[in-house]
Structures are given as C-alpha cells and as structure tokens.
Structure 1
Amino acid sequence: MHIDARNIENNSIIEGDICIVGSGAAGISAALEFLNTPYKVILLEGGGFEYEKQMQDLYKGKTTGQRYYPLESARLHYFGGTTGHWSGFCSTFDAIDFKEREWVPHSGWPITREDLDPYYPRAHKNLDLGPYEYDVKYWQGKDPELKSLPFDGDAVYNKMWQFSKPTRFGTKYRDTIVKAPNIHLYTYANVTDITANENASAVTQVTVKNLAGKQHTVKAKQFIIACCSIQNARLLLASNKQMPKGLGNQHDNVGRYFMEHLEIKSAELWLAKPDVLKLYHWEWEITKARAELAISEKMQRKYKILNGTASLTPLDIAKNQPAFIDMWTADTAQTKKNFAKLDQANKDGAKKEGHRSYQLFTRLEQAPNPNSRVTLDVEKDALGVPRAMLHWELTPLEKHSLRGIYKIIGEQIGITNGGRVRLMDYLRDENDNTWPEFTGGGWHHMGTTRMAADPTKGVVDANCKVHGIANLYMAGASCYATAAAPNPTLTLVALTIRLADHIKRKVKAV
C-alpha cells in the first residue's frame, strides 16, 4: 500500500507494529523480511519515487578536514535510496575485520564473521548476485582464462568480488512493496524528530514533515532507523528535546567514528611481459566476478596494517583518468556523464594482447577515529532540522598501511621475477603523513552509530539496538565498528536481515 503524506489530513496519526525510517538498501531489505507476516509495517520515505532537487537539498551539509564530496550528492533522497547510483560491487568481510586488533585503536565487533555467514546468501538474493561463492578456484573452474598472478597465498591472495546488475531497489522492489497488504509505504514523510517516553527507555513516536507543510505522527512498537550513516546520526543528534545531547548519545558516541574507504591510486605494476590479466578485469554491467589483490591476515598482523585491496587498470588508460574526487559533483547529471566517459575510455583502451604496465588502485579501510565525525550545524533545512556537518579525519595508520600493502605486493611479485612495483611519489617518504589532492573516498559512509557490547564504546549492541532504548534499532553501515576493505552494501544487507530476524523473534515472544 502506498500513501503520499502530502495528500492526507494534516496532523494525522499513523499507527503500526513496526516503523522503518528510510527506503534504501537497508530499509527495503528490512521491509521485505516482514512481507506476509501478521505485523503492520510503516515504511517512511522522505522523498518520492524519482529524483527531485528540492528533496536533495535536505541533505546539504558542510564538510571540514580531509577534502570530501558534496554531501547532497553523496546520498540519494527518494525510494530506493543510494542504490540509484550504486555500481554493484560486492564482497564479504573477512574474519579479521571483526576481531580486535591491537594495532588498530577502537577495533573489534561484538559479533564475528560466523554470525553473519547465514545471512550473506540471503543478501545475495536481494542484490541479484550469483552463487554464494568467493573462492577463486570456483570461478577459475568456470573460465580457465582467469589466471592468477603468481603470488604466495599466505602473503597476497585473490579476493573475489561479485557484481550486481547493479540492482536498483527503487525499481525492482517498488511493486512488491506497494502491493504488499501489510506494508504501508508513506512517501514525502521526512522524520524530523524521535520522541521517547519520560525516562527515554523506549521510543513512543516519530514526527514526519514534508515541504507541502503537512506534519504527522507515527506510533509503533518497534522502530528501525535506516536513513544512511550521516542521516542516522543527524536524526539521533537532532532528537534532543528529552536528552540534550541527542537520543542514544549519553556517552558522546553518536556521529563519531565516521569511516570511509580511501580509494586512491597508489602504485604501478610493471610485468615482465604483457598480460590481459582477465581475472582482475572489470567492465561495467558485464563482469560477473573478478579478483583484487588482498593481504593475508598473517601479513596484516606482521606489518600492523589495515585491511585493503588493490585493483588493476592498464596504466595507459589510468593515467588519463581524473581522480574520483574530481568526478563526483553536486550536479548528479554531470556526475553520470563523467562516469560514462570513464567507462567508454576503459573499453576503447583495451588491448587483446594485454598490457605490460598497470596502475594499482587501493581500496583501504579507514581506522576508527573518534575525531572523524558528524555533528549538527546551526543552519537548518527547509523542514527545520539542523543540517549535518562532516569532519573527515584520517590518521597516520592509513598511510602506513598503504606503504605496507605495496611493500608486501612488491616483494611477492619480485620473488617470482614476474614484475616490479613502483610506488607513487606521495608514498615514498615514510615520515610524510600528508595526503595528495587526488585523495578520495568510495562514497561509503560507515560507523556513526557503531556497534559495541559496552555502551560507553558504541551506540548499538550486537543486535543493532540503541543502548538503553528498548525498541529503537539502527540499520545499515552506520552500525559498523570497522570498515573492512569491501564496499559496504552486501554486508549491510546481511546485517539488516539479521536484525529483522531478531525483531521477529522479539515480537513473537511478546
């Protein structure tokens, strides 16, 4: 069922069993888990079914610290959310990503990789991925031309990625959600405030507003906030009538530990002879699976580095490509043109005989840093909510890790006489912790309502429930305690399905 919140009577009271705020990958995945159940689900979307500039304006904000993308373009504000410009990259987290690592401050989750294992295959279905297989040998069995570089797997291994179509949740799941008798989708219903009971131990209702001047109240027994990492934190911080620092923020953790993936060109690989390196090749909307070079847990521990992967692009193509940080603009149409031009350049530059030189491009997890954070600005949006301010701050560990990754890769390729690795200039001085102008992120927002068993160290518990509030849950990558190397979408969908299962058990037991 679909209701446009602009067209119902002002100050309406909307009631249900479960209220989900946000209809991106997390919000829709949560709603799908309650299809055909006895529970009335209220799914709130701030925008409509298509991109609208005035809705995007609600996501405007300021950035400080490390150079970053315009906030209003980094997330899409309509049904389907940011899956509208998702590239479809998917891979699982590694076991080490969940562990406490003594060289990574604030690392460690209250769950393990094994806790997510049952949910990854279910997430595959939502994302239209292939078989739940991330073993390089499986894919090589499908195509003998997927030959590996000659690395020692105990040091450098091939981490496999699968690629979604990419699935646009707003297109694929629109009819399913709208036709579901127990799911009530309200569009143009922006949540502007969360209200708890007198001692703030449970949420009683949320307030929704829209640009048509309407305001409504939504009441439910369970609330799931699935807006995205920046907006999740913004909403908790702005809901400060009862708790001056914001809901769930007794220990000043909401908004802190904002993490991105550093996505940055880092080195060159020069091979002894040309090679197409088909195993490592990616072509937009064609490639089903490929490998990136990854560092084993053993070597991460030995060199005390963060987790990261290296992808390979022919150097004569890569050297003419602008940095991603310069391609992503506040003009969504122009951004699409920039990436279409990049994709065409990749196709035009391909050589059947292969290439001898490749650019090594790194996707590196960011160390959890409490100074990297989301706060509220004094300026408010058109609905009266303080705008978000993002301070993105890196640490010396990121640059140390980049050097470590290519030291290991360089040593391993050198041992085989298969080639050599050449570091880019900005990585050569081990005492230099500055970052070049072309440093960028992957548009992967994580960590602002981080998971921790100890309420003083995080915002949500192992079930994504806000500490101290019985019926308030956060969904999505904002719950990540560390970022890992892969893009966050596959894992956030798996984590959301796990959250939905937890709520099913909880409401059934009542």
Structure 2
Amino acid sequence: MILDANTVPTGSTLQADVCIVGAGAAGISLALVLQEAGIDVLLLESGGDQADARNQALYAGSVADARMHSPLDKYRERRFGGSTTIWGGRCMPFDALDFEPRAQIAHSGWPIGLDALQPYYEAANKLCEAGDFAYTAEEAFSTPRRPLIAGFDDQDFSTNTLERFSCPTDFGARYRQRLINGSCRVVQQANAGAIELDASKRQVDHVQVRTLGGTAFTVRARRFVLAAGGLETARLLLASPGASGAGVGNAHDVVGRYYMCHLAGTIGTLSFADRQGVYHGYEVSDEGIYCRRRLALRPQAQDRLGIGNFVARLHHPRITDPAHHTGILSLLYLAKAVIPYEYGKRLHGEEKLGGGQWLAHLRNVLIDAPATAVFLTHWLRYRTLAARKFPSVIVYPRRPRYSLDFHAEQEPNPDSRVSLSDTRDELGMRQLHVDWRYTPRDVHTVQASLAALAQALKKSGVGSFDYEPAEVEHEMTRYGAYGGHHIGTARMGTDPANSVVDANCRLHELDNLYVSGAAAFPTSSQANPTLTIVAMALRLGDHLKRFS
C-alpha cells in the first residue's frame, strides 16, 4: 500500500511493528525483508515518485569550504528510491581487511568481520540486479578473457578483481509493486522530524511527521530504523535533544563526526609498448552483467606501505585538454551544460577554457566525425534505449596511452564532521553544516599507491606510468569529497565513547532505534558503498525478525 501523507488526518497516530525512515536502497531492502516475514512495516519517505524542487530544497545546507564539498542538495535525491534514482550502478563488496583494526588507519576496525556480512552479499547482489556474487574474472567468466595488461603480474597489485554493474536499478521503481503487494505501508511526502523518547529515556516513544502541505501526525512503533542516508540520518539524530540534550545518541559528541567520502581523481599518463596487450573496457559475464577489471592494491602491500585501500582503472585522457584529438571526448566537453551535475563535475572538473580551446574541441568533433558517429550509435543502442545500460564512456586511444583514474579509502577523522546550523528549512528543521576534512594519511595513501604502481609497471617492462608527485594532493582533492558517498556519521563500534551504534546497528543509548546505511560504516574501504549498504540492511532485517 502506498499512501500520501497529506491524506493522513492531522493529529492522528499511525502504528506499526517497525517504522523505517527513508525509502532508498537501505530502507526499501529492509522493508522487503521484514514484510516477507509478516512484520507490520511503515516506510516513511519525504518525497514522491518524481523529483520535486520543493522537496529537494529540504536537503539544502552549508559547507565550510565550497571547493571541498558539493552543495548538500546535490548527489542526493529526496524521493522514492532515494539516490538509486541517479546512481551509476557500480557494485563491489568490501575486502576482508576493511573490517579489521589496522595500525596505519586511525579509528579503523568494525565490530563485525567480513564473515558476518558474507551471507548477505549474494542476496544484495540480486536486489541490486548485479548478477551472481562473483567478483574475480575466474569466477565470473566460464572462458578465459584477455588480460587487463598482458605480461603484468605484480606482488603489490592484482588485475583480476571486478566491478559489476547494476542496470542501474532504481529501487523505488523496481520494487514498488512488491511493496504494494506486501504488508508494508509506504507513506510518501512524509518528513520525519522530532524523535521523542519515553519517560525512561531508553526508548523512542514516537516520531513526529510533517508534510509540506501542512499536515502533521505521529508514528508509534516497537522499533524505528533511520535509513535516510549518511547526512540526513545524522541530522535527524542531532535535531532532537535525546537523553543527553545534545542529540539522540549523542551523549559523547560522536554523531556527525568521522565523516568520510572517498578520495578520487585522474592523474598522469600510462604508456604501453603494445596496444593490443591492454584492454580497459567492459566485458559481459555469463549471466549478462557488465563487468570491468581494475588494478587493486593487495592487502599485504597496504600493510607494508602503511596505507589505506586503493584501486585504479585505466582511463581516457583529461577531457578538458583538446590535445587528445578525440571527437567524442570533445563532444562531452561541449555538452557539459546538459550533463547531470553528478557526472559533469567529474568529467570536466572546474576548468574554465578560453575561446581558442573551445574551437579546438569543435575541430576535434568535426575531424573525428566518423568515429564519433560510431560511438553515438553504440551509446544510443546500448545506453539510451537499453534496460541494462552500458555503464560509462570508454574510449580506445589511437596510441596506447591512458590516464589513471583512482579511488581510495579515506581515513576516519573525528574533526571531519557534520553539525546543525542556525538556518532552518521550510519545515522549521535546522539545516546541516558540513566541514569535510582529509588527513595527511589520506594523501600518503594515494602518493604511496601511485609510486608503487609506477615502480611495478617499470619492473614488469610492459609500460610506464608518468605523473607529477607534487600534484597528487591537488588531484585527489580536485573534486573535494567525492560524490554521494556519505559515510561514518553514526558509526558502529563497541565503545559508546567513539561510536553511535553497536554491532547490530542499534543505538548504544536506546533500545529500539537503529541505523541502516553507510552512516554506520566505521571505515570507507575502496568500494562504492551501495552493495554493502544493501547487505547490511538485509543483515539488520534478520536481526529485527527475531523480535517479531
């Protein structure tokens, strides 16, 4: 059943066994598990089925440094399906090392190991529509495939691990009918506000809900789950006083701290002697899923170098430089105004080009028109019109020269945080202020990884990697806090002094309030978080079923 909150009588009370706040990947996955167990679920979603500017404006807030963090209403979608309505579909699990305490990464270590999450990854893969849980080339392909880099076999970097790609699946559209057919009640246009505790201060008594249309009501449930994303979950906890007066679950001033994203950038030039010996494109698994290999820093290399997790992909030259003489890359630059913000920023950075460079891009498009036409035909067929979309732009350069696209773990840092500002949104709720920071260890992770890769390629004799070490910090912060990966603001742990939730994602301070999503991740890994968000939601679902 799907209801419009504006039709709920003002002053009334809705009741459920479990109330979930947020209908994105985490909330919808959790609701599906619970309703299949016959549990009475109420799923609150601020938005509707479509994007709405007035709803989206409720995400607005401020940042300490606009160069280092995008506006808070970007990369997030306040509607049914959440940010899965705009994600790119990249799926991969966390590595075993990510869950372990590591001497080189401050505040690392989860209260669970990979073994606790492994049983849920396969089901998460299915919900994300990323096929089988097979994340090496040997597992995914029944026949041998060409290597990423022929002749490259290194003790520090593997080349056989995969990224798998969802359709990408919009969880709202894909699972809407299953929710309608089940016992879950989805209430759209419902903005959760104050979290009110009972007299014991150990239980949530009810949550106040308001709509932009002026309706107000309450929700009572045996258990509540915040699944509103890494930023909004922290906002909801901080916006109510809780037992301490400093925010729900915030007696030790941990909520909103340890805010992580990922460190990402494009740098340098990889040159290879044999063009035919390099393949950096997508391959299709036996069950029809787009997969792509990458260079992954092995766990033993991370330990030896004293750094965090790191992966890299062969990438096309920087789009803004017309010297690449590639029509499709220049066309992407010229089309910047119509490319969604989430992708345009990464494709183009913030460079401002003069008229001469603009003309050089136009010249590339005209001279390279036949190749551009072939690319656009492929894109129309396999991206625009396809249900399972070709994941991204792949360009095969005339010469075997590439740039390196990297994605690295960010160290948890208590001084990197989100807090409440004095500005209020349309519903009277205080907006967020974000002060995202990185550490010297973050810089060292990228610097040491790039240096190790350059050495490995030189040693192998198959190619070279040239980059300017002095530019590493600039390149890894070119996009600031990367994308929509909002991680760690209500982290898991065993000690309430430095964590918000326990191993089952229940708040230390309360008996019936849980967090589902990347807000609970103690560390960020090298991996995009969506697959692990879904796996964690399924694990939480199993935990909550024990109380039904």
Identify which of 524, 528, 544 aligns with 1:483.
Answer: 524
What amino acid does structure 2 have at the position aligned with 1:171?
A
2:432 matched to 1:359? no
Q: Distance in 2 between matches of 1:220 and 1:186?
A: 15
Measure the CA separation in 1 of the matches of 2:336 and 2:197: 39
Partner of 2:46 in structure 1? 46
Residue pair 1:224, 1:472 contacting (<8 A) in 2 also: yes
- SS of the equivalent of 2:199 reads coil
Distance in structure 1 (CA, Å) of the matches to 2:535 and 2:394? 35
Question: 431, 446, 452: which is aligned to 1:408?
Answer: 452
Give the CA deviation at 1:318. 7.7
Quote the offset at 1:353 in angstroms: 8.0
**2:294 aligned partner:** 292
CA deviations 1:277-319 (Å, max 9, x no partner) are: 3355489xx9711111111111101111110111111337585
Q: What is the percent sequence identity of the aligned residues?
A: 33
Separation (CA, whole Å) in 1 of partners of 2:402 and 2:339: 30
488 and 127 in structure 1: CA distance in 2 versus 1, 3 angstrom threshold: same
Match of 1:417 in 2: 461
1:140, distance to aligned residue in structure 2 (A): 5.0
Query: Does structure 1 retain, via aligned residues, the 8 Å contact 2:13–2:217?
Result: yes
Cα separation, 2, equivalents of 1:385 and 1:449: 19
Indicate yes or no: 2:246 matched with 1:245: yes
Alignment of 1:57-456 (within 5 A): 57-65=57-65, 67-139=68-140, 141-142=142-143, 144-158=145-159, 159-180=161-182, 182-240=183-241, 242-275=243-276, 277-281=278-282, 288-315=290-317, 319=321, 334-335=340-341, 338=344, 347=375, 355-424=399-468, 426-427=470-471, 437-439=478-480, 441-456=482-497
| Structure 1 portions without partners, runs of 5+ | none
Structure with the higher fraction of residues in strand conformation:
1
For 1:153 and 1:434, the matched residues in 2 are separated by 25
Instruction: Give the alignment's Cα RMSD to 1 decimal.
Output: 2.8
Question: Is the 2:26–2:533 Cα contact (8 Å) retained in structure 1?
Answer: yes
Residue 242 of structure 1 and its aligned partner are, at CA, apart by 4.6
Whether the aligned pair in 1 keeps the contact of 2:110 and 2:492 (CA below 8 Å) is yes
Decide whether aligned partners of structure 1 residues 328 and 43 sit closer, same or farther in structure 2, where only a CA change above 3 A counts: farther
Which residue identity is paired with 1:384? G
8 Å contact 1:449–1:478 — kept in the other structure?
yes
Letter of the 1:166 partner, please give it.
P
How far is 1:404 from its partner? 0.8
Q: Distance in 2 between matches of 1:68 and 1:345?
A: 36
Instruction: Give the superposition deviation at 1:468.
Output: 2.2
The C-alpha deviation readout for 1:50-81, integer Å capped at 9, x for no partner, is 10000000000101146111111221001000
User: Contact 2:110/2:522 (CA < 8 Å) preserved in 1?
Assistant: yes
CA displacement at 1:132 relative to structure 2 = 1.1
Counterpart residue type for residue 197 of structure 2 = A
Query: Distance between the aligned counterparts of 2:73 and 2:491, measured in 1?
Result: 23
Structure-2 change in CA distance of 1:338 and 1:402 (3 Å): closer
Distance verdict in 2 for CA 1:346–1:60, change over 3 Å: farther
Contact 1:155-1:299 at 8 Å conserved across structures: yes
Aligned length: 495
Contact 1:426/1:435 (CA < 8 Å) preserved in 2?
Answer: no
CA distance in structure 1 between the partners assigned to 2:461 and 2:14 by the alignment: 68
After the TM superposition, which residues 20-39 of structure 1 pair with which residues of structure 2 at under 5 Å, given as runs?
20-39=20-39
Aligned partner of 2:390 in structure 1 is none
Counterpart-to-counterpart distance in 2, 1:304 and 1:2? 50
**1:274, distance to aligned residue in structure 2 (A):** 1.7
Query: What is the CA–CA distance in structure 1 between the aligned matches of 2:538 and 2:151, rounded to whole Å?
Result: 38
CA contact (8 A) 2:92 2:163 kept: yes
Change (3 A) 1:383 1:242: farther
- In structure 2, runs of 5+ residues without a counterpart are 323-328, 349-371, 377-392
Q: Does the CA contact (< 8 Å) of 1:223 and 1:472 recur in 2?
A: yes
Distance 2:13 2:318 in 1: 61
Q: Structure 2 vs 1, CA of residues 216 and 350 (structure 1 numbering), >3 Å: closer, same or farther?
A: closer
1:471 alignment partner, one of 507, 512, 515: 512
Any idea what SS the aligned residue of 2:102 has? coil
What is the DSSP-based 3-state SS (H/G/I as helix, E as strand, rest coil) of the residue aligned with 2:179?
A: helix
2:536 pairs, out of 495, 499, 509, with 495
3-state DSSP of counterpart to 2:107: coil
Displacement of 1:141 = 3.8
8 Å CA contact 2:267, 2:475 repeated in 1 = no
Deviation at 1:266, TM superposition (A): 2.7
AA aligned opposite 1:471: N
Amino acid across the alignment from 1:238: A
State the shift of 1:270 in Å. Answer: 1.1
Distance change in 2, residues 1:193/1:275 (3 Å): farther
Query: Which amino acid is 1:299 matched to?
Result: A
Residues 201, 242 of structure 2: 8 Å contact kept:
no
Q: Distance in 2 between matches of 1:87 and 1:282?
A: 17
